[in-house]
A and B are shown apart, each in its own frame.
Chain A
Amino acid sequence: MTKKNLSYTEAVANIEEILQQIETGELDVDELAEKVKQASELLKLCKGKLFQTEKEIEKILKDMEGEKSNE
């Protein structure tokens, strides 16, 4: 299943792999549904990385700011 901490590049690579599997007709109809679901989740993840603010990253930046003032 889709990991949360997947990098953009990894996610895109996964989508491409799924796309290729579909295009070459490797999947039967049952697998297809599962893979399509997986791909659409990955696409959502990628879009998120483009547009969404990740609290985790903001926090690290904030911590760095604090560390800075101690210098």
Chain B
Amino acid sequence: MDNQTLSLFQLLVQVKSALKKAMPVSYWILAEISEMKVNYSGHCYLELVEKEETGESIRAKARATIWSAVYRMLQPYFETTTQTRLSAGIRVMVKVTAEFHEMYGFSLNISDIEPSYTLGELAKQKLEIINRLKAEGVYDMNRALRLPELPRRIAVISSRTAAGYGDFMDQLTGNPYGYKFYLKIYPAVMQGDEAEQSIIGALDRIYDHEDFFDAVVIIRGGGAQSELSCFNGYWLTSHICQFPLPVLTGIGHEQDETIADLVANTRLKTPTAVAEFLIDRFRGADMRINELSSSLVDAVTEQVHEEQELLNRFLLLLRPSVRERMVSHSVSLRYLSVHITGAVKQRLIKETGSVNRRNDKLKIAAREFMNQRKHTLDILDKKNGYLDPFLILKRGYSITYHKGKAIKDPALVSPDEIIETRLAGGILISKTT
């Protein structure tokens, strides 16, 4: 046999044409993307691998390309259907043609992709992680923690630049009721390949202040729906499960729950929903306090009322006996008064009798007395008649007056004094010598 010597190029051209002849059509293949890169011109370069059923060791590996014209259509189609980023680490079903290039070697040219396969694979993967967490006995641990009635001190894991983060902080600090929250941000990368480790790092930093915080909030405002794979990762979800503080999620996605949502103490859809939840919890506590306050007032009022009732009942018991006493007293008083009136009347009658009798006696006595006096007066009258000065003057006696006084001694009158002598027939005026 002739040994034909070929140049490298000649050989590789033969390989290329042999391959083309042997595998002229395209094939649907199953593989995992181990590396992926999109260059400046929009072409996508990947590395596809297949691992052993039993472990992590790789048993096949090939380069692959998606030309930019195809990639521009396939990427959005895949990502909207699966809500998963077309990236390293996911399993895909792609339509490929095997190609060989004398310059670049063997490569698979991807012309189509089947998202439902990846969806199924992701669901399977998710289920596997869930089962693993359950098997390890950690799945329910965070959910079993009791969220304080007033979660006041909150560690927030988010990206500082995320719109959802700003809204969340504003909502809590400017809540309309004036509730006081203490918020501390633990910045983390919330999407992409670094996200899982970054969030775990934030959890570790919070763990150092476990006693201080009441709860951890993981929020991711906005961003692509396809960036959620980290929240389905085993390591992050396992950390959330075993974290000693209740974890609240507001990862912001519409479709399937991530494993992080499933294992978190409280799962909410968006950062806004987390803020509302926290404010509502305060509101609930606020109303409970008001309720307790009014119940307390009611209970005290009632007790005071009861004490009053008791007093009133005592009073009611006391009153009839008092009234009885009063009635009996007033009856006896009335008897007394009747008795007294009677007695007084009788007495009066009796007294009136004796007064009348005395009166009669008095009248008689008085009449007798008067009679006696009259008699005496008569006698005196008669006697008086004898003594009348006029009668005496008539009998020739006279009275001499000096200055209106009767003169009983002539020596008392000086000479040349006018004297009056009263006679029965008139007055005689004379002068002493």
Contacts and interface: CB of A to CB of B under 8 A. Distances in A.
Interface of A: 7-9, 12, 15-16, 18-19, 22-23, 25, 27, 29, 32, 36, 39-40, 43, 46-47, 49-53, 57-58, 60-61, 64
A15 to B, nearest CB: 5
Contacts of A18: 296
Interface string B130-148: 0000000000000000001
Given A50-B150, A57-B153, A36 B180 contact: no
Contact of B292 (A15, A25, A51): A15
B149 A22 contact: no
Contacts of A32: 300, 303
B289 interface: yes
Interface residues of B, number: 27
Contacts of B299: 19, 22-23
Interface stretch (B67-75, B280-288, B329-337, B408-416): B280-288
Contacts of A19: 292, 295-296, 299
B209 A8 contact: no
Judged by DSSP, the binding face of B is helix
Nearest to B183: A61
B303 A12 contact: no
B182 interface: yes
Contact of A52 (B180, B184, B300, B306): B180
B425 to A, nearest CB: 120
Contact of A22 (B178, B182, B293, B296): B296
B28 interface: no
Contacts, number: 70
Given A12-B149, A12-B288, 14 more contacts: A7-B148, A12-B292, A16-B292, A19-B296, A22-B303, A27-B303, A29-B303, A32-B300, A36-B300, A46-B289, A50-B150, A50-B282, A50-B285, A58-B182
A49 B181 CA distance: 10
22 contacts: A7-B148, A8-B150, A8-B285, A9-B149, A9-B150, A12-B149, A12-B288, A12-B289, A22-B299, A22-B300, A22-B303, A23-B299, A32-B300, A36-B300, A43-B296, A46-B289, A49-B150, A52-B180, A57-B152, A57-B182, A60-B212, A64-B184
B307 interface: yes
B179 interface: yes
Contact of B296 (A39, A47, A64): A39
A52 B282 CA distance: 13
Contacts of B178: 51
Given A12-B288, A22-B296, A23-B299, A51 B149 contact: no
B289 A43 contact: yes
Contact of A15 (B180, B212, B296, B303): B296
Contacts of B209: 64
Nearest to A57: B182
Nearest to B146: A9
B180 A50 contact: yes
